[in-house]
Amino acid sequence: MKGVILAGGHGLRLKPLTDITNKHLIAIGNKPMIVYPLWTLLRAGITDILIVSGREHAGQFVEFLGSGADYKAKFTFKVQEEAGGIAQALLLAEDFANGSPVTVILGDNIFADDISRYTSFSSGARIFLKEVDDPERFGVAVFDENTKKVSRIWEKPDLAPTRFAVTGLYQYDRHVFDFIRGLRPSTRGELEITDVNNRYIREGALEAEIIEGFWTDAGTFNSLKAATLWAFENQGR
């Protein structure tokens, strides 16, 4: 199992902080944001990790993270030339994956859960859901809690059919890259990860797991505050 951290984008919802640095390098507690998704992968035993970032801050990620030796891991870096969506960024990981399944995590997602038990994944796709109070801000899943099969994912619906948000943690087999190449840009001009997940649903190959512990995406000032409070409360644990 290989890991991919997607840390591109412009961080528009966190301006003016992102006028001077990448969103994923903003401090949460006493560490840059990207350390938390990195920990999620490392704690699960995933040590071969690709970090995808935008070109304007790529050097800062390399300078901060280095080769991975300090983390007893191996880091590879790739540059996303333009912000074209999560799926477009993930496509840059195809050579890195080299046919292996990947665990993908967004660089602004903070998880308390240990995902070690899910690293035996080998085929199809898996998403991780969290019950939230504001599901309209996310992709929202309709699924069977007994079979863990998802019937549909709605991207930022005006009226959410459930309160289960799709978090920024995904697992995919090698077919994900073929599925991405078959996508058409959304009305936002991006290749949407929701469209990738719905393709796996149509193939009958997507299942869901529920996140039990703390989770936030830290992409807005409110969620950044929640992440910071959680980090200070749990620092050193």
Residue 237 to residue 216: CA distance in whole angstroms: 19
C-alpha dihedral (84, 87, 92, 95), degrees to nearest 10: -160
Look at residue 10 and tell me whether its pLDDT is greater than 70: no
Position with higher pLDDT, 5 vs 235: 5
Tell me the pLDDT tens digit for each residue of 147-160: 778 899 988 888 88
Q: What is the pLDDT of residue 116?
A: 95
Q: Where are the alpha helices (DSSP H) in the chain?
A: 35-43, 58-65, 86-91, 94-97, 176-181, 193-202, 221-234
Residue 203 to residue 220: CA distance in whole angstroms: 34
- Counted domains in the chain: 1
Domain range for residue 122? 2-234
For residue 83, the SS3 value is coil
CATH code where residue 157 lies: 3.90.550.10
Give the mean model confidence (pLDDT) for residues 182-186: 87
For a pLDDT cut of 90, what percent of the chain falls above it? 59
Quick count: other Cβ atoms within 10 Å of Cβ 100?
12
Task: Report the predicted TM-score, pTM, of the whole model to 2 decimal places.
Answer: 0.93
Look at residue 104 and tell me whether its pLDDT is greater than 90: yes
